[in-house]
C-alpha cells in the first residue's frame, strides 16, 4: 500500500516520466552548449507562496547529472516572499538546461497546491475543523499532490480506492439503499479501513446513523442544515461521529462552514484547480 511517508519511488517514477516526455530522443537545443561547460543558477519566487516540491525538483537535475549540487535557502512548507531566492544550483550546463523546465513544472505546481491549501487552513484557524483533500487529482501525480496538501497544513483523505470506503450516491443506488450499503461495507471492510457514507439531507443522515454510520459526508448542505446535523450528533454524545462538509466550498464561505462545528471540510479545488506559482530560474 502506498503511503505519503514513503515517496522516494514515486518521486523517481514521476521524474522519469516527466523527463522522458520532454527529452524524447535528445535535447537538440542543449547540444548548442559545449559538453564540458559548467553553470551556476538560482531560483527566485515571483510571488508569495508556500514552497513545495524540493525532492522532485532536485531529482530532475540529479537524474541527468548526479554531480549537480543544489543548496536550498528555504524548505518544503516554508512561506516564501516575492523576490526571495529559493536555491542555488551548480552543475553541467547541458543537464541544467535540459532539466530546467521539468524541475520548475513540479516546483510551481506543488507549491501552488500547498499555497492554496494554506489559504484554506488559515481561513478556518481557531475552529476544530480540518481541511481535507479528495481524489480529484492529476492522473499519475496523486501522491505528489497529496504531499503538497500536507505542506499547506491540510489533511489527506484516502489515497485511493484501496485504503478507505466512501459510499456515495451512486453506490447507495446500486446497493439498494443506505442501510444495505453500510451493512455490506461493514461486512467486507478490513479493520484498518474507515467507512464513510455520503448523505444529501437530514433525513438521510438520520437513516445513516440508525444504520451504524460513524463517518458521514454532508454533501451540499446549507449552513442551517450543517448546524442541525452537528446538533443531532451532539445529542448522541455516547457515540463518536465524524461529520465532513463537502460541495461548493470556497474561501468566501469556508469560515462559516467551519464555525457550524463540523469536523472536516473537503475541498476538491485544492488539487483540481491549480494556478502555478510564478518561479524563475536564472543562470549566473
- What are the residue numbers of the active site? 101, 136, 168, 198, 219
Q: Which residue has the cell 474561501?
A: 251
Contacts of 269 (CB under 8 A, 6+ apart): 116, 249
Query: Cα(79)–Cα(114) distance, rounded to whole angstroms?
Result: 10
For 38-106, what is the HEC assignment?
Answer: EEEEEEEECCCEECCCHHHHHHHHHHHCCCCEEEECCCCCCEECCCCEEEEEEEEHHHHHHHHHHHHHH
DSSP 131: E
- Tally: H helices and E strands in the chain: 10, 12
Q: Are 265 and 249 in contact (CB under 8 A)?
A: yes
* Whether 199 contacts 190, CB under 8 Å: no
E runs forming strands in 140-252: 165-167, 195-199, 215-219, 242-246
CA-to-CA distance for 102 and 17, rounded, in angstroms? 10
Amino acid at each position: 500500500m502506498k503511503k505519503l511517508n514513503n515517496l522516494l519511488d514515486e518521486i523517481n517514477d514521476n521524474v522519469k516520466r516527466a523527463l522522458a516526455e520532454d527529452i524524447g530522443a535528445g535535447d537538440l537545443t542543449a547540444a548548442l552548449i559545449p559538453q564540458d561547460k559548467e553553470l551556476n543558477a538560482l531560483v527566485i519566487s515571483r510571488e508569495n507562496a508556500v514552497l513545495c516540491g524540493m525532492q522532485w525538483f532536485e531529482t530532475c537535475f540529479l537524474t541527468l547529472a548526479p554531480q549537480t549540487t543544489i543548496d536550498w535557502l528555504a524548505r518544503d512548507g516554508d512561506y516564501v516572499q516575492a523576490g526571495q531566492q529559493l536555491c542555488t544550483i551548480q552543475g553541467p550546463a547541458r543537464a541544467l538546461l535540459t532539466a530546467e523546465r521539468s524541475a520548475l513544472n513540479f516546483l510551481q505546481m506543488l507549491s501552488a497546491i500547498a499555497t492554496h491549501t494554506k489559504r484554506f487552513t488559515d481561513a478556518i484557524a481557531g475552529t476544530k475543523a480540518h481541511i481535507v483533500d479528495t481524489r480529484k487529482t492529476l492522473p499519475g501525480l496523486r501522491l505528489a499532490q497529496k504531499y503538497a496538501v500536507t505542506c499547506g497544513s491540510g489533511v489527506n483523505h484516502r489515497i485511493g480506492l484501496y485504503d478507505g470506503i466512501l459510499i456515495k450516491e451512486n453506490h447507495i443506488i446500486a446497493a439498494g439503499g443506505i442501510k444495505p450499503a453500510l451493512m455490506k461495507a461493514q461486512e467486507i471492510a478490513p479493520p484498518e479501513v474507515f467507512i464513510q457514507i455520503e448523505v444529501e439531507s437530514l433525513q438521510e443522515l438520520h437513516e445513516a446513523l440508525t444504520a451504524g454510520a460513524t463517518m458521514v459526508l454532508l454533501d451540499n448542505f446549507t449552513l442551517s442544515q450543517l448546524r442541525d446535523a452537528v446538533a443531532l450528533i451532539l445529542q448522541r454524545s455516547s457515540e463518536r461521529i465524524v461529520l465532513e462538509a463537502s460541495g461548493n466550498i470556497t474561501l468566501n464561505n469556508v469560515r462559516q462552514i467551519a464555525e457550524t462545528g463540523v469536523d472536516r471540510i473537503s475541498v476538491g479545488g485544492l488539487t483540481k484547480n491549480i494556478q502555478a506559482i510564478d518561479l524563475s530560474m536564472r543562470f549566473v
